[in-house]
Amino acid sequence: MATEAHAAEGATGYIIHHLTPLTVGEGFWALNLDTLFFSAVLGGLFVWFFKRAAEQATSGVPGLVQNFAEMLIEFVDNQVKDSFHGKNDLIAPLALTIFCWVFMWNFMDLFPVDILPLIGSVMGIEYLRVVPSTDLNATFAMSISVFGLIIFYSIKIKGPWGFAKELMFQPFGPWLLPFNLLLKLVEEIAKPISLALRLFGNLYAGELIFILIALLPWYLQPVLSFPWAIFHILIITLQAFIFMVLTIVYLGMAHEDH
């Protein structure tokens, strides 16, 4: 993509430029610095905010920061209680982290598409893609981690044999074992892939539309980008919420022993 961006000019060049990550290294060992940087900064922000709330936490009248943090905690806790019936101290913090982090990734989408790359270019950075969730690496990193947890808890709760039995004998009984296995494997593998691609697809498309709007004449831009941004507020929250809820549901399924 990087080579194409150098070649193409005009609208195509602009779009490709905006969607090209800042990369160092070659092949698999290349690193998308912008994704790593922005997600780490946003993660740091999330941790800083909640750490502050946690330090001030009192059971008395909460301050503004604590109030907001507690609102989120309560919201996440309700989701976990609704869909997860086992006992696990990891699920709720995991869900909170996912929700907040993904939301903040997505929120980067609401910054005007040119501002941060412009600042970057002033500082000598040629490519800058500011929305981590438009990078498949970010979404897959999260969904694969969740997938790892699903496998881990499936084996931990049901035992290796129990998990294997579930893979082989369900849903159609032992006589259709290969078919069961295939179905189950597809089902399991579809989880991380759908999680990652759903988030990526929504945000990538959203960002692309912002970029397209940015190509229009200036007097048309507000008319289009304003409603799209408002609609996007819904989308970014919804995507973060879906990622979180599905994680809880998947892990809840991993905890259910048949």
Partner 1 sequence: MSINATLIGQMITFALLVWFTMKYIWPPLFDSLEQRKKKIADGLAAAEKGQESMHLAEKKAKGVLKIAKEQSAEIVNLAQKRANEVVEASKDLAKKEGERLILVAKSQIEQEKQQAKEVLRKEVAVLALRAAEQILSAEIDKTKHQDILSKISNQLAG
Positions that interact with partner 1 (CB under 8 A): 1, 23, 25, 27-32, 35-36, 39-40, 43, 46-47, 50-51, 53-55, 57-60, 62, 66, 69-70, 73-74, 77, 89-90, 92-94, 96-97, 101, 132, 135-138, 140-142, 144-145
Closer to partner 1 at the Cβ: 4 or 257? 4
Contacts of 24 (CB under 8 A, 6+ apart): 30, 31, 33
Given a contact cutoff of 8 angstroms between Cβ atoms, the answer to whether 5 and 20 are in contact is yes
The values of phi and psi at residue 93, to 5°, are -60, -35
Residue whose C-alpha is closest to residue 95's, from 74, 64, 110: 74
Given a contact cutoff of 8 angstroms between Cβ atoms, the answer to whether 224 and 216 are in contact is yes
Classified as helix, coil or strand, 31 is strand
Classified as helix, coil or strand, 215 is helix
Minimum CB–partner distance for residue 256 and partner 1 (Å): 22
Residue whose C-alpha is closest to residue 178's, from 167, 193, 190, 191: 167
Classified as helix, coil or strand, 23 is strand
- Catalytic: 83? no
Question: Of these residues, 32, 154, 180, 202, which one is catalytic?
Answer: 202
Minimum CB–partner distance for residue 73 and partner 1 (Å): 5
Closer to partner 1 at the Cβ: 57 or 164? 57
Minimum CB–partner distance for residue 82 and partner 1 (Å): 16
- Catalytic: 129? no
Closer to partner 1 at the Cβ: 62 or 162? 62
- Catalytic: 67? no
Question: Of these residues, 52, 88, 145, 198, which one is catalytic?
Answer: 198
Minimum CB–partner distance for residue 34 and partner 1 (Å): 9
- Tell me which residues are annotated as active site: 194, 198, 202
